[in-house]
Structure formats: structure tokens, C-alpha cells
């Protein structure tokens, strides 16, 4: 056995783990990062990045198709076609560029990367089975153990992944557009990928157990998304219960609210009913850490219940978002280096890359009221924004929520084409403790969607200019 010693072991090279390791390396902490699959984790390999690449390709294809038909802006295109094999190759190229970039950054910062599967022996010892054939087991001992093993897709017991039942990972590697696609779950993945495959030409059915889409967002925000879904021809089946495959195994059997059976045609069935922390199969149980539901319980510094054992990212539960994992990873490295840090962001932005997109930062009016604030709230519609008109995307709005007494901004919400890029401005205004006057009196470039942010703040103050 190859025996090594270090100060920090990081298990998992996703956005949580690799950012922690890079920062630890920058701070001079001897660090070993263990990754069994591919640097970049879910996010870079089979999550955020590949899904956004496919969404982009699908949107470009849909636009070309749209221009070929009804070209009110004067563009003429003759029957566009999609070569999904080529699209996937292009997507894989982006993934490779990013994951090899992560490898280069780790190397530059002196992090020792071991390609292999880690098994915990105790809070200071980890065995690694290298992925390379014939390589000996490596035992690494450390002072600090950082757990960043991420999450796995939840499976439906009556319909496990395999055959035509696919996970998001499979959906991001299809080589042809399925003629019919049934999606189970109208959450982030179901709608982001369901809408993309609809744009690529599939007949799409989305089945959701609840009576609404995107349960994480409020009704007003999801309304324009719902309208776009209906317009796109996606068949939405809300309040339906999945029974499994039909007897022939070529359709999805669901029951509606009245208990009647419905069979949905499905060359592929994408199951996207959530993700769960990856806690089994690598010796984590042996540490007997305190848990919070299925997740590892952590405090405000990402410490677990065992001294010098830390957990970050999806392994530590909701919100399972890459930027939250990265922020936690950076913080833990700094704490280990002796800095005084706590995980107390003013807000963690959430973006849903449907078409239109949704972005939420901080509290909406009912959440703020429930938290004991007396609030003012105002929205500004993109229908009154010049840039949105030039982009042919006037559906949606920006909404602001602020304290009534001192005008401190408590939250932003927006829905519309391209609003994900407003997340930076929203987050900064909350982190910097902006009041409505700060935003309303900031000169926003014209013509941009950002002017709707300024106008929402002005409207909350009672003097919007362009409505």
C-alpha cells in the first residue's frame, strides 16, 4: 500500500471540492483532492454546463426554424436541421475545456490530485482505490477531512434508470432527438431539458405530481413560463401520479386526479424528481456524523459533528446549487488557514434556465412579511422596456421587495428572456445593503434589460419614469 500524509484531504472534485482545494493551495495548505470520476463533478460534466449548452443549441435551432416559417423581421432561412451527434460533440468540447482547466488550476496551486474512489477509514484516514488498472491502494492521512461528494439523481422505485427510462445524465448525451419524450417532474431539470427537447422537435409530455410547475418559485413568476410551455406544444399533466411503464413497456402509465389511467407515448422517459446527497457506499456511515434528513448536518462554518471533518455542497443538502458549493468550499479553505469566516450570505441566487428564465435573489413579498417585515413591492414589465422589444421578448418583469420603513432592499425576482444575467446586480445590491434610492439613482445603460431593475426601484418609490 502507498501511504501518504497531508494537511487537507478533499473527497470529491466538483465545484465545492475543487474550489476548496484551489483556495487551500493558494493559502499554502498541503492538499490532496480525490476524485473518482472526472474533475468538475456533476456541474461541469453532467449538470450546469452541458445542460446550458444543449439549451443554447436548442434555442438557436428553434429560432432558425421560426425564421424559416414566419419571418416578420425579414430573415429568410431554408429548412434548418439538427445533427445532434455534432451538437453533443460541441457540448463535450466545452466540458473538456473546462475540466482540463480545473486540472491545470489545481496543479498550478500545488494540489495533489488522486484519480480514484475514496473510502473513509476514520476522520483522519482515507483509502483510495485508484481508477487506473493495477495501481495499488493508496492510504492518505490528514488533519482536516473535507467531504464534497455531491449528490445523485433520485430514482422512482417502480421505474429504475435503464432502457428507455433515463436520468439527466443520459438526456445530456442522446445521439438523436427522441420522437416522443415523457418527463417526470416539472422542476428545474424537467423543464429546462423538457423545453430544450421540445425546441429540438420532440413531442414532449411533462408529468408533475403537484398541481403546479416549479414549486420553488412563486405563482406570478412561473406564469410566463407556464404560458411559454403551453405555446410550445408541450403537454403538461399536473396532479398526475406515475404508475410505471405500461404492459408493453413503450409508454408511461400515469393516473390523473380522478384516478383514471392515461398512457403517454414515450421513446424516452426522463425522470427528474430531485437529487439526494451521495452518502452511501464510501464509508461515510462509519463516522456516525449527525445528519439532517438525508444530508450531512453542518453548522455556519460547514463543520460536521466531528472535529476537523467538514462538509460542503450537495452532500450538505439544499439548496443544491453549484455557486453555493463553491462559496462554501472557498470559506472552509480559509477557515482551515486560520481566517475568521462564517457562511452568512445575504442571499444565494437561484436561476431557472427555462425560456423565459427565472431569477430570484432574497425574499419575495410574502416571505418578507412572514419574516416580520412591513414591505413595499413593485414590478416593472418588460413590455415597457425598449431593449426587450428589440429582442422580441417582452414577456416578464422585474420585481423588487424592500422594507417600508428604511427602503432596504430585501429581494429581487425576475422572469424573462436573458434575466439570468441580472443575478449579479441583484446579489450585489443585497450584499451591499442597498436601499431603493441607491438602485433608482444609479445610471443604468440604455437600452438594456437592466433599466427594468432601476424602474422597479423607482416604481417602489412611487415615481417610475417609463410606465
Is 344 in a helix, a strand, or coil? coil
Is 150 a residue that touches ligand FAD (CB under 6 A)?
A: yes
**Nearest Cα to 39, choosing from 144, 159, 154, 131?**
131
Site size for ligand FAD, by CB under 6 A? Answer: 36
Nearer to ligand FAD, 353 or 426 (CB): 353
Is 409 a residue that touches ligand NAD (CB under 6 A)?
A: no
Q: Which stretch binds ligand FAD (CB under 6 A): 11-19, 233-241, 288-296, 333-341?
A: 11-19
Q: Is 219 exposed, middle or buried (0-12, 13-18, 19+ CB in 10 A)?
A: exposed
Q: How far apart are CA 191 and CA 171, in angstroms?
A: 12
Consecutive H or E run containing 217: none
Q: Which does 252 bind (CB under 5 to 8 A by kind): ligand FAD, ligand NAD, none?
A: none
The binding track of 281-320 with respect to ligand NAD, each residue x by CB under 6 A or -, is: --------------------------------------xx
Q: Which does 210 bind (CB under 5 to 8 A by kind): ligand NAD, ligand FAD, none?
A: ligand NAD
Query: Distances from the Cα of 148 to the Cαs of 151, 201, 245, in angstroms?
Result: 9, 38, 35
CB of 196 to ligand FAD, least distance (A): 11
CB of 141 to ligand NAD, least distance (A): 34
**Interaction with ligand NAD in 177-216: which residues (CB under 6 A)?**
184-190, 192, 207-210, 215
Q: How far apart are CA 405 and CA 78, in angstroms?
A: 58
65, three cell numbers? 426554424
User: Cell match 500500500: residue?
Assistant: 1
342 is catalytic: no
Phi, psi values for residue 114, rounded to 5°: -110, 125
Active-site pick, 240, 253, 446, 463: 446
Is 229 a residue that touches ligand FAD (CB under 6 A)?
A: no
Is 278 a residue that touches ligand FAD (CB under 6 A)?
A: yes
The binding track of 155-194 with respect to ligand FAD, each residue x by CB under 6 A or -, is: -------------x--------------------x-----
CB of 186 to ligand NAD, least distance (A): 5
Question: In terms of DSSP bridges, do strands 2-5 and 151-153 run parallel, antiparallel, or are they unpaired?
Answer: unpaired
Q: Which does 242 bind (CB under 5 to 8 A by kind): ligand NAD, ligand FAD, none?
A: ligand NAD
DSSP 273: S
Q: Strand ranges (DSSP E) for 123-267?
A: 125-130, 138-141, 144-147, 151-153, 165-166, 180-184, 203-208, 235-238, 241-245, 251-255, 261-265
> Which stretches within 8-83 are classed as H helix?
15-26, 41-46, 48-69
Q: Which does 166 bind (CB under 5 to 8 A by kind): ligand FAD, ligand NAD, none?
A: none
Is 36 a residue that touches ligand FAD (CB under 6 A)?
A: yes
CB of 373 to ligand FAD, least distance (A): 27
Consecutive H or E run containing 377: strand 375-381
Q: Which stretch binds ligand FAD (CB under 6 A): 102-110, 231-239, 318-326, 437-445?
A: 318-326
**Interaction with ligand NAD in 232-271: which residues (CB under 6 A)?**
242
CA 356 to chain centroid, in Å, comes to: 16
DSSP one-letter string for 275-341: EEE--SSSSGGGG---EETTEEP--TT-B-SSTTEEE-GGGG-SS--HHHHHHHHHHHHHHHTT---
Is 273 a residue that touches ligand NAD (CB under 6 A)?
A: yes
Cβ neighbours of residue 145 under 8 Å, at least 6 residues apart? 8, 9, 11, 120, 123, 124, 126, 308, 309, 310
Q: Rg for the chain (alpha carbons), in Å?
A: 24
CB of 151 to ligand NAD, least distance (A): 8
**Which residue's CB comes closest to ligand NAD?**
187
Q: Of these, 289, 321, 368, 410, which contacts ligand NAD (CB under 6 A)?
A: 321
Q: Which residues bind ligand NAD (CB under 6 A)?
A: 156, 184-190, 192, 207-210, 215, 242, 272-275, 319-321, 351-353
Residues belonging to the active site? 446
Q: Which residues bind ligand FAD (CB under 6 A)?
A: 11-17, 34-37, 41-43, 47-48, 51, 117-118, 148-151, 168, 189, 278, 282, 313-315, 320-323, 325, 353
Amino acid at each position: 500500500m502507498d501511504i501518504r500524509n497531508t494537511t487537507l484531504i478533499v473527497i470529491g472534485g466538483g465545484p465545492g471540492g475543487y474550489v476548496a482545494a484551489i483556495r487551500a493551495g493558494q493559502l499554502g495548505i498541503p492538499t490532496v483532492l480525490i476524485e473518482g470520476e472526472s474533475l468538475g463533478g456533476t456541474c461541469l460534466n453532467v449538470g450546469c454546463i452541458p445542460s446550458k449548452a444543449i439549451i443554447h443549441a436548442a434555442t438557436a435551432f428553434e429560432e432558425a426554424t421560426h425564421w424559416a416559417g414566419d419571418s416578420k423581421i425579414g430573415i429568410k432561412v431554408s429548412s434548418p436541421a439538427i445533427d445532434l451527434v455534432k451538437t453533443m460533440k460541441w457540448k463535450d468540447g466545452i466540458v473538456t475545456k473546462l475540466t482540463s482547466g480545473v486540472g491545470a488550476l489545481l496543479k498550478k496551486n500545488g494540489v495533489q490530485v488522486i484519480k480514484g474512489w475514496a473510502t473513509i477509514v476514520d476522520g483522519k484516514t482515507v483509502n483510495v482505490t485508484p481508477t487506473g488498472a493495477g495501481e495499488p491502494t493508496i492510504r492518505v492521512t490528514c488533519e482536516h477531512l473535507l467531504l464534497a461528494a455531491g449528490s445523485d439523481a433520485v430514482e422512482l422505485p417502480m421505474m429504475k434508470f435503464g432502457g428507455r427510462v433515463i436520468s439527466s445524465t443520459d438526456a445530456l448525451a442522446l445521439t438523436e432527438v427522441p420522437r416522443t419524450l415523457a418527463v417526470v417532474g416539472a422542476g428545474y431539470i424537467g423543464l429546462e431539458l423538457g423545453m430544450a427537447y421540445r425546441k429540438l422537435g420532440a413531442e414532449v409530455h411533462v408529468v408533475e405530481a403537484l398541481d403546479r410547475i416549479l414549486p420553488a418559485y412563486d405563482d406570478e413568476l412561473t406564469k410566463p413560463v407556464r404560458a411559454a410551455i403551453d405555446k410550445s406544444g408541450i403537454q403538461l399533466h399536473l396532479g398526475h401520479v406515475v404508475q410505471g411503464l405500461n404492459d408493453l413497456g413503450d409508454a408511461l402509465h400515469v393516473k390523473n386526479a380522478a384516478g383514471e389511467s392515461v398512457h403517454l407515448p414515450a421513446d424516452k422517459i426522463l425522470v427528474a424528481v430531485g437529487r439526494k446527497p451521495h452518502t452511501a457506499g464510501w464509508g461515510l456511515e462509519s463516522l456516525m456524523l449527525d445528519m439532517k434528513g438525508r444530508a450531512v448536518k453542518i453548522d455556519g462554518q460547514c463543520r460536521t459533528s466531528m472535529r476537523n471533518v467538514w462538509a460542503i455542497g450537495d452532500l450538505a443538502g439544499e439548496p443544491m446549487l453549484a455557486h453555493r458549493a463553491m462559496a462554501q468550499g472557498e470559506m472552509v479553505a480559509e477557515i482551515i488557514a486560520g481566517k475568521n469566516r462564517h457562511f452568512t450570505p445575504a442571499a444565494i441566487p437561484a436561476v431557472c434556465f427555462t425560456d423565459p428564465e427565472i431569477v430570484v435573489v432574497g425574499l419575495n413579498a410574502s416571505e418578507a412579511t412572514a419574516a416580520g417585515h412591513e414591505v413595499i413591492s413593485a414590478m416593472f414589465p418588460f413590455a415597457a422596456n425598449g431593449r426587450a422589444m428589440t429582442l422580441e421578448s417582452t414577456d416578464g418583469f422585474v420585481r423588487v421587495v424592500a422594507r417600508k420603513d428604511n427602503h432596504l432592499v430585501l429581494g429581487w425576482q425576475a422572469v424573462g428572456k436573458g434575466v439570468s444575467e441580472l443575478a449579479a446586480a441583484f446579489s450585489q445590491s443585497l450584499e451591499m445593503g442597498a436601499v431603493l434610492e441607491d438602485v433608482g439613482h444609479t445610471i443604468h445603460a440604455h437600452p438594456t434589460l437592466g433599466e427594468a431593475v432601476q424602474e422597479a426601484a423607482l416604481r417602489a418609490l412611487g415615481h417610475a419614469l417609463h410606465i
